[in-house]
Structure 1
């Protein structure tokens, strides 16, 4: 698999503080890479550096072999699509109009001929057909997340960056989003997804990068990264890492230890 992103010695500062520190990471076409770690670890900042929205203080990020700073906004939009945590739209566009926004980067390009097919496929895969005529601003959090995902899918880029796409979703739609991520990777796309659910990451990611205090402390297969010792060290809680009946790993708190409350 070829590298979509090559990250070397990356440092990102926000408010004068280093949020991402000395990160080295490759993101490959044809894989789902999950970024996991506790709150405040730097996962979203790292993803923002990949999108080009967070300034790089030191080091380098290359996309398809070119420094990220060399890319025009239009070329970036046709190469990578981004789903942020905050699914906000300032005006009462309908869901259909929001999904159609995903095709804006292709206006004037030959691929604009694919607009209708791309939009229809994105609507179907995100399960938003019944929401198309509703104002985006009137949707629930989960509905907004699915409509925003449809916009990202309609963009039809080779790289897809998803920041906590399952956070507001019910169990069924969490699984469906990650199945979509797997399907994208199967067609050769590079998918990076920030997740809090370690069991979901273990089930659906090819590799996991665990972020702690702005650094990547481990990267590899789910079995390599999600050891009880490492999870306890990073998250500060004892866990069981167990094989599920379907063969994937599940991570659950060691409640016999964590239920004790100090007086």
Structure 2
């Protein structure tokens, strides 16, 4: 079972946003989708989900055309974890996770649906919060609820759109570990993420895009090239590997650090990467 993205093109108001994106993922792949802001990461994620209409190209899972399926049938094959998912009304954690079973429901949820939701809740350590309302929880707890809902869908593919962007370091790491466990059990995950070092540490694949074009695709150790990253992110960086762990850091060059705003950006990068 492979997820195949072939020659994906997308236009928005006469402007081409995605340019012939092609790559494939296999069971066990935890793939980081990387690129600067505005590079097309979220657009690509939504295109694969069928939420953004493509101009041409295809998305196939085990040879089946996903974009030709109804939204309900796609939800039986791919689960989605958004960057944030505010709950507009009072909803208990248990009920929010049960929504993951919606694609399979006829008249009402059955015992299998409840058992699947309970297993996802236990796996995410949410049992003590099951009767709490989602809008009462912290950002990190809410994100765990969204991942539990995705697991409850029972799919073998998970797409995540920058799910760690609003989380503190603990929950960033916890989320990366949870998704890595999902892929180690035979799943496929594609995660748009900003933190290059998290991607290098937890992912076995990386896809870099810039201006809607695929720049590089492969294992992080091969893809994380200092010249490529410096050009893509418009920031001179250094890439080093020690004990099998790849680390990306900005180059401290006083000739480059000419403005206070740039210094501030570099300090933030160091704090997040430390």
For normalisation by structure 1, the TM-score amounts to: 0.90
Structure 1, unpaired ranges of 5+: none
**Stretch deviating more after TM superposition (12-21 or 131-140):** 131-140
Q: Does the CA-based 8 Å contact 1:240-1:253 persist in structure 2?
A: yes
1:117 & 1:68 partners in 2: Cα distance?
27
1:19 & 1:200 partners in 2: Cα distance?
27
1:120 & 1:9 partners in 2: Cα distance?
39
Matches within 5 A, 1:223-262: 223-244=221-242, 247-257=244-254, 258-261=256-259
**Stretch deviating more after TM superposition (163-172 or 111-120):** 111-120
Q: Does the CA-based 8 Å contact 2:39-2:210 persist in structure 1?
A: yes
**Stretch deviating more after TM superposition (125-134 or 143-152):** 125-134
- Cα deviation, residue 240, structure 1: 1.8
2:158 & 2:75 partners in 1: Cα distance?
11
2:19 to 18, 21, 25: 21
Please tell me whether residue 189 in structure 1 is matched to residue 183 in structure 2. Answer: no
User: Which string of whole-angstrom CA distances, capped at 9 and with x for unpartnered residues, describes residues 188-239 of structure 1?
Assistant: 1111111100001111111100010001100011011111111100001111
Q: 2:69: which partner in 1? A: 71
1:57 & 1:31 partners in 2: Cα distance?
27
Q: 1:142: which partner in 2? A: 140
Q: 1:170: which partner in 2? A: 168
2:11 & 2:110 partners in 1: Cα distance?
38
For normalisation by structure 2, the TM-score amounts to: 0.87
User: Which string of whole-angstrom CA distances, capped at 9 and with x for unpartnered residues, describes residues 176-195 of structure 1?
Assistant: 21112111112211111111
Q: 1:220: which partner in 2? A: 218
Q: Does the CA-based 8 Å contact 2:80-2:160 persist in structure 1?
A: yes
- Cα deviation, residue 114, structure 1: 3.0
How many residues end up aligned between the 2 structures? 259
2:105 & 2:221 partners in 1: Cα distance?
43
Q: Does the CA-based 8 Å contact 1:122-1:154 persist in structure 2?
A: yes
Q: Does the CA-based 8 Å contact 1:158-1:189 persist in structure 2?
A: yes
User: Which string of whole-angstrom CA distances, capped at 9 and with x for unpartnered residues, describes residues 27-47 of structure 1?
Assistant: 222211110000000011111
Structure 2, unpaired ranges of 5+: 262-274
**Stretch deviating more after TM superposition (216-225 or 139-148):** 139-148
**Stretch deviating more after TM superposition (226-235 or 139-148):** 139-148
Matches within 5 A, 1:114-133: 114-133=112-131
Q: 1:57: which partner in 2? A: 55
Please tell me whether residue 211 in structure 1 is matched to residue 220 in structure 2. Answer: no
Q: Does the CA-based 8 Å contact 1:103-1:112 persist in structure 2?
A: no
Q: Does the CA-based 8 Å contact 1:106-1:112 persist in structure 2?
A: no
1:125 & 1:169 partners in 2: Cα distance?
19
